[in-house]
Amino acid sequence: MNDDKSTREQWREAYDDMLVRVKTALEEAEEATLPTMQRIIHSARDSAVELGELTREEAEKVAAWLSRDLHDAGRHLAESGQELGDWLRFDVHQVEERVLDAMLSAADRTRLEMLQFQHDLAAGPTWNSGEISGPGTLHCDSCGTRVSFHATGVIPDCPNCGHTAYHRQQYRK
């Protein structure tokens, strides 16, 4: 159990580190296209492996979670014209400053990409317990219970019903 907890903490920290690497690379990139975003996320993933922060398999998982969250935030910003706080479903002042800065920067670039990327699933992405999520509020698919993240964290089983799948409010079934 202790090893599992330390692994999840390592994944949480790696998510934040990858997010900062993506933000930095996006600031340096002249173009904001989906292939550029994917290339930058893959570079951040590879850096985590090269630096010995994660195994290749773990880095693949964390990169997929980060990509899911950034694309969802970008889609929300592009489709709704609302602020990131509306996507998070709570006051952005409650989010750790380092994570918020990186998320805002990357999501803004992602919004541009999402204007071109319209073939997303109608139901939106699924967040599952045991995965890592950036800041925001998730809703249990089974009972609707909200689980909020003010920082990067491990998604728990639903505290109300034990279900393991979540969606953001705008995608709830």
Each of the 173 residues of the chain gets a pLDDT tens digit; together they read 456 768 899 999 999 998 888 877 766 665 555 567 778 889 999 999 999 999 999 999 999 998 888 777 777 666 665 555 555 554 545 555 656 666 666 665 555 555 444 444 345 688 999 999 988 899 999 999 999 998 889 999 999 999 999 988 764 44
What pLDDT, on the 0 to 100 scale, is given for residue 142? 92
What pLDDT, on the 0 to 100 scale, is given for residue 24? 79
- CA distances 141 to 86, 87, 154, Å, are 20, 18, 17
CB atoms within 10 A of CB 28: 8
What pLDDT, on the 0 to 100 scale, is given for residue 163? 95
What pLDDT, on the 0 to 100 scale, is given for residue 120? 44
What pLDDT, on the 0 to 100 scale, is given for residue 1? 40
Pick the closest to residue 151 from 169, 133, 128, 131 (CA basis): 133
How far apart, in whole angstroms, are the C-alpha atoms of residue 83 and residue 70?
14
Q: Which token pair is 133?
A: 């999520």
Partner residues linked to 137 by β-bridges: 148
What pLDDT, on the 0 to 100 scale, is given for residue 77? 65
Q: Which token pair is 107?
A: 């999501």
What pLDDT, on the 0 to 100 scale, is given for residue 37? 74
Can you give the pTM of this predicted structure? Answer: 0.56
